[in-house]
Amino acid sequence: MMGHSALVLVALTATAAAPDAQVASIAHRDLPVGQSFEIETTDQVFRGQLLDRSTGECQMTFSGDGKKFSPVRTVYLLGATAGPQGPQMLVRMHEVQVGLKMELGIDDLEQRHRLITSEVRNIRLLR
């Protein structure tokens, strides 16, 4: 029993000391509530924290230069997209992926408040 407790303690210590994790995609259904992240697109940096796994609701801030960030806002991570493809737009719901654009709902889920970002270049899960 003592050996198992020591192993668990070592694992917890390693996890706590682990640096931020760079990932190729995130699906908010798989993230723990409260998970902080940073998403870098071609022209902006988004920093946020997941509030609701079912809706993708986050508290998020944006920056054009990676230094000066906007006030925190409610943003919904809606999905990953390549953008409009003719009369249609294909969206991978509830996911953000490097190489695709993000579709976001700014402040609410109304269609008129949707934003499609430039291409995602980097995603980091913050500790």
Residue 3: pLDDT band by 50, 70, 90 thresholds?
very low
The pTM is what?
0.79
Q: Is the pLDDT of residue 19 over 80?
A: no
Contact 124, 38 (CB under 8 A): yes
> What are 26-56's pLDDT values in tens digits?
998 889 999 999 999 999 999 999 999 999 9
> What are 55-111's pLDDT values in tens digits?
999 999 999 998 999 999 999 999 998 766 666 666 778 899 999 999 999 999 999
* Cα–Cα distance for residue pair 95/106, rounded to 1 Å: 16
What's the token pair of residue 6? 């020591």
CA distances from 109 to 35, 82, 100, 106 (A): 21, 20, 21, 7
* Cα–Cα distance for residue pair 81/31, rounded to 1 Å: 20
Where do the structural domains in the chain lie, given as residue ranges?
A: 21-126
Phi then psi for residue 86, to 5 deg, are 70, -135
